[in-house]
Chain A
Amino acid sequence: MFFRRNNKSSKKKLNSDNVTENLTAEKIENLFSNMADFNKINLNTPGGNEYILYFLKSLINVDQLNLTVILPLLHGNKGSVPSSIGSIEVTEIDTLHKAMENLLTGSILIEDIVQEKYWSIVIPRDLSRSIDTSQQESILYGPNDSFVEQIDQNITLIRRRLPIAQLKCKDFTIGSMSKTKLYLIYIDGLVDSELLKTMEEKIRNIDYDVFLNSSEITSFLDDNKNSLFPQYQLSDRPDVIVSALSSGKISLILDGTPFVIAAPITFFELFQSPEDYVHRWLVGSFLRTIRFVAFLITLLLVPAYVAIATYNYEILPLQSLIIVLTYRSNVPFNPMIEAFAMSLILEILKEASLRMPQKIGPSLGVVGGIVIGQAAIDSGIAGPVLVVCIAISGLASFLVPNYLMTNSSKLIQFIFIGLAGLWGSFGMIIGLVFLAIHLNSLTSLDRSYIAPLAPFYLKDWKDVIIRSPVQLMKTRPEYLQTQNKNRTSSTKENIK
């Protein structure tokens, strides 16, 4: 970590030499040798034409192949392939590279032996799962459809909610091996052009081989890689993404993952959940305030215990001190080690429950939670108050709707425990100050991360800690600097 390191990755190019190579049947068969799903069909039509079909059976829709390609070819006698198959788009192929590309993305290659031409038709197999409810964020009184792994279906879900011509969708291909499709979605005329330019430049500079999920892309697009705070929002709910788009943000959809990226984001938006907008506005504000309080509890409750037991016993009133610390003398460790150990055990339980098979999960959960906790207290390894504090802070960490923040806040809690054990309440405040300095300088797509706080935008505070009624939220967030700030049609400029 402390010594110089060369991190340049070497670029690998696959098949770079055959971009302009000519196309022959032999070359195709060589290229696709040793592939069990590579099929070749000979067709002899009554009209005297001879066709050979090449395709990868795993990638194409076989039923549609029969209906739309083989039957018209056999029974049509028009003469050339495009005129026989009138219904789908047919493109002519002349290079090996293009043929390979098309075959690998779900097309069939038709070789017209008589005319010595090659044609390609796209018939992809539909592999999507059906639209299901989101596993990560589900709300009671709202839409429950979620994105799937097919990019076209995801676009459909978005377009149905925003049927306007200004919803633009630029496509990119990233990943030298996975050649993943990436769509950049934004509302033209609304989003700030600087944001768009920055995002496009960053996407063009991505250089990696395989992209399997959205988090891998965000690490290329981050402004601050080493920060614990997420600078992009990942969501698999279409209503969240559409609301982000209509506020003036940019969205990225990646093929192969249901999680869509929305950017930029602020720290306070990590505490927003679509459920706030379902309840009455006072109830929604209350829930949001509880989330902020829960975040502070996660960060500060266990370190406060450590600080009180180690340095600052004067802070608590006498009765509370008696409750909190009566059992301390039975515990052989010092408070910092005790807190670290019990937090670590909680993390082990959490990770274990993620990986346990479903059949034995519940019973082992009982073992872990109740037996270990109770046995630890009875044997004197931990005090009961500390176990209660750790349990409360563990539960409170899940209140933040963004799951990435949950684990981040747990890690920050460990750091705070260490600081509190070293310097007491002074250490905790120092930790908070460092955190504040770090948050102050974070940017997400070059916008300030603590946006309505610094720079101070008074109007945006309607949706930060309290959730005002929807009629009062007439303007879009200031930090996005959208071209059109009004949501209502009371002024002349709005999107038609």
Chain B
Amino acid sequence: MDRVNIINSKKSYFSSKHKIDSVMLALLINRVQVIHLIIFSTERLQYPHMVWLIILGGVISQLNIYILSRWLSSHMGKKGIVGIFDMFGDVFSKIFLFVWLCFMFIKFITISSAYIYLLHKYLMTQHPKTTLMLIFTMIIVYLASKGFSNTLKFTIITFVFSIGVLFLFISLIISSFVSVQDVFPLFGNIFNSNFLISIVLIWGIFSGPEYLIFIGPYIRSDVNIPKSMFIGNLLTVTEYVIFYLGTFIFYGADFLPYVQHSYISAMGYLQFRSIQRLDMIILPVLIVSFALFLAIILLSSFKAVLYIISSKNKPIENTPLFIIISLIFASACISFVLKVATTEIQALFWNQILLYVSIFTYTIIPTMMLIAFLGKSRRGK
């Protein structure tokens, strides 16, 4: 909301003057994937040897990341949303953008209601959910109103705020009354009764980067995109594995299914001489990762709406449209959390929906990109 005072440059939400570099891209991929860990935690994977599934999931997700990185480094990907028009043609692009907009909308409201549910349950039990949701959407709209490149630049601050949680978690594991036997057996029968649910969960946890298909113009030209995205995915896999094994060591394999949201309950055990209930500080700090991802979704929706409404060559970006879109999203969130996602059963149901939506998008988008690439290269021949 601050005006840039340089002559001859209008304020724009999508100006790509400041671009992100390789470190920021890697951290962006990491932060976008980690929010699913916070929401779902790992209670459903009931055996320690499922950690190999996580690693397998990471490897397969790497293929997806590779396809996405090829899209972002191609000519069409570098133009962002205009590249989608180039690749798919005008009519199909508009349909695609409309469907994509619906998915982004669903993801926005389910993720925000999941976080507000956590916050309401563990920290702010006596505050009405309306207030919490309103504050949350104000943060997202404020971040989004600074522009796309500033939102992407916010990744590093997100990382700095939330990496401390990982170190605190490691310090929790190295305490006296734990033994490595709790992670045994580490090699076991992966194909047990829990297999399908586990596969579904893990694949959903790695989703996130497919919402970044529009950030092509904001990446600096000298960035090695496949390498950065690979490193980001690797960081995510490391974090998941540490967290997964850590919860098994800390809780034991049989206590874990009875603990809801082990990510936050484990933080509640931390204690220092001068500060005791650290989860009261850590839970609000986790808001930055959510704000980052949801601001990116908001701006992408704004862009999609612009390109659906107006023509491809002259999109009219103006503030009233942005305000309208953010108001629609915000009021949808608030009514969602008040009417539809209030009780625990409903919240669990919407978490499942979020999982299925994530899996669907994470599978479909790279597949579509791959098919379109192959089609284009065949046509080119």
**Chain A interface (Cβ < 8 Å from any Cβ of B):** 198, 201-202, 205, 221-227, 312, 314-317, 320, 423-426, 429-430, 433-434, 436-437, 440-443, 446, 448, 450, 453-456
Contacts and interface: CB of A to CB of B under 8 A. Distances in A.
Contact of B280 (A198, A205, A425, A437): A425
Nearest to B119: A426
A426 B5 contact: no
B285 interface: yes
A423 B134 CA distance: 13
B142 interface: yes
B172 to A, nearest CB: 17
Nearest to B283: A426
Given A202-B6, A317-B274, A433-B287, A426 B124 contact: yes
Contacts of A453: 156-157, 160
B277 interface: yes
Those 3 A-B pairs whose CB atoms lie nearest each other, nearest first: A429-B284, A441-B146, A454-B156
A225 B2 CA distance: 8
Nearest to B143: A437
A422 to B, nearest CB: 9
A314 B2 contact: no
In this complex, the interface size class of chain B, counting residues with CB under 8 Å from chain A, is 35 or more
A437 B146 contact: yes
Given A426-B284, A455-B20, A456-B21, A315 B142 contact: no
10 contacts: A316-B275, A316-B276, A317-B275, A434-B142, A437-B142, A437-B154, A440-B154, A443-B4, A446-B6, A455-B23
Contact of B157 (A221, A424, A454, A455): A454
Interface in B101-160: 119, 123-124, 127, 135, 139, 142-143, 146-147, 150, 153-157, 160
Nearest to B4: A223
B127 A198 contact: no
B161 to A, nearest CB: 8
Interface string B276-296: 110011001101100100000
B280 A315 contact: yes
Contacts of B135: 423, 430
B18 A448 contact: yes
Nearest to B271: A317
B275 A315 contact: yes
Given A224-B4, A425-B280, A448-B153, 6 more contacts: A224-B2, A225-B3, A320-B274, A440-B153, A454-B157, A456-B21
A67 to B, nearest CB: 49
B150 A440 contact: yes
A434 B145 CA distance: 13
Contacts of B123: 425-426
Nearest to B282: A429
Contact of B127 (A202, A320, A423): A423
A320 B274 CA distance: 8
A223 B17 CA distance: 15
A441 to B, nearest CB: 4
Contact of B281 (A423, A429, A434): A429
B276 A317 contact: yes
Contacts of B155: 454
B7 interface: yes
Contacts of B281: 315, 425, 429
A154 to B, nearest CB: 27
B237 interface: no
Contacts of B256: none
A305 to B, nearest CB: 14
B355 interface: no
A129 B284 CA distance: 55
A433 B5 contact: no
A423 B124 contact: yes
A306 to B, nearest CB: 15
B168 to A, nearest CB: 15
Q: Which of B160, B275, B280 has the most CB of A within 10 A?
A: B280
B273 interface: yes
B150 A433 contact: no
Given A314-B280, A434-B139, A202 B5 contact: yes
B239 to A, nearest CB: 19
B341 interface: no
Interface string B257-283: 000000000000000011111001100
A429 B275 contact: no
A221 B6 CA distance: 9
Interface string B16-40: 0110110110000000000000000
Nearest to A450: B157
